[in-house]
Amino acid sequence: MNILIVCVPIYNFPVEELANSLQQEIQENQLPVGLLFIDDCSDTSIQKKHKKYFNDSKNYIELPKNIGRAKIRNLFLQHTSTPYLLFLDGDSKITTPHFLQAYLQQIENDCLVVCGGRIYPNQCPSQQQKLSWKYGILKESKTANQRQQNPNKSFMTNNFLVKRTILENIPFDERLSKYGHEDTLFGYQLYKHKIQIKHIENPVLNGDIETNKEFLHKTQQGLLNLIKIKNNTEPDFTEFVSLLTFYHKLNQYKLTIPILYLYKISSSAIQKLLISGHISIPLFNFYKLGFFLQHNND
């Protein structure tokens, strides 16, 4: 009987390699682990590949319309019954033959929420993917010890184990239908319920490095989500996000207006630089701050 289901939301990325890696470890070690893939209305070309690969398997479900990153994760509860769920992004690449066994060890220790981490390729795939790659290397590719210093703030949805009862009581906020910060909000909600996240060294490799243009667009969506979250959560959520903390300091010193002015006159030029692959993380951070100020309704 399975005690763990690996839950993989799919959106416009082929998952055959990931499925093969997971299935190989399960079969070779006779692990009590099942797999479930749910496609969130991907393009027809992707769905055709998956239909052929899964061949009417009960491990694969297609949704008739896109429901978003938060809602699809909650949906896995309706299609599973195991006491633990392991969520992996569809673009994950497994880097160790003992990936699932590391999580089963955490289940034996009765852990509630466990994050394994994310790493990026050592070399940037291309100039047109440099923004996502460089930002990921600096901000996301952290060791377990680094993540454990701020465990709930370091939560990421791409590779985490959760006890079923936790997700049933603290589901992802389905008001967030678009990309961005659903992981931030979930980590905050766990913090409010005094549930600390355990971080382990069990990363997956990010197998889908977005183009600079795609990553910039996703960043904008994430900032709009952050504004939405901040307007509908308790005041201490500000302390949970460094950009919000910095924003309130700027407000105190009445610096938001001049910074917004600088952003408005320079945003077009900054976008062109970032999209072309001339990457400066401080400049990218300034762009994010300016975009936030422009769209914030305070």
pLDDT tops 60 at residue 78: yes
User: 45 pLDDT exceeds 90?
Assistant: yes
266 vs 253: CA distance, rounded Å: 22
* CATH number for the domain that contains residue 165: 3.90.550.10
Do 169 and 265 lie in a common domain? no
Residue type, 264: K
> Percent of the chain at pLDDT above 90?
84
- Which of 165, 188, 209 represents a domain boundary (last residue)? 209
| Residue 5 token pair | 């289901």
Q: Does residue 150 register a pLDDT over 60?
A: yes
* 210 beta partners: none
Compute the average pLDDT of residues 246-252: 91
Give the closest residue to 203 by CA, choosing from 45, 94, 113, 73.
94
Is the same domain home to 144 and 58?
Answer: yes
Range of the domain at 285: 216-295
Question: Taking 90 as the threshold, does the pLDDT of residue 53 lie above it?
Answer: yes
Do 15 and 56 have their domain in common?
Answer: yes
Share of the chain above pLDDT 70, in %: 98
Task: For residues 89 and 272, give the distance between their C-alpha atoms in angstroms, rounded to a whole number.
Answer: 30
**Residue 263 sits in the same domain as residue 133:** no
- Count how many domains the chain has: 2
Per-residue model confidence as pLDDT tens digits over 278-287: 889 999 999 9
Do both 191 and 244 map to the same domain? no
pLDDT given for residue 177 in this prediction: 63
Residue at which a domain ends, from 160, 175, 209: 209
Same domain, 42 and 120: yes
Helices (H), the chain: 16-29, 44-54, 69-75, 99-108, 130-139, 144-148, 164-169, 182-192, 212-230, 242-252, 256-276, 281-295
* The last residue of a domain, from among 159, 174, 209: 209
CB 138 within 8 A of CB 285: no
23 lies in the same domain as 143: yes
Q: Which pLDDT tens digit goes with each residue over 19-29?
A: 999 999 999 99
Total residues found in the chain within this entry: 298
Q: How far apart are CA 46 and CA 10, in angstroms?
A: 10
CB count in 10 Å sphere of residue 287: 22
pLDDT at 56: 83
The pLDDT, as a whole number, for residue 236 is 84
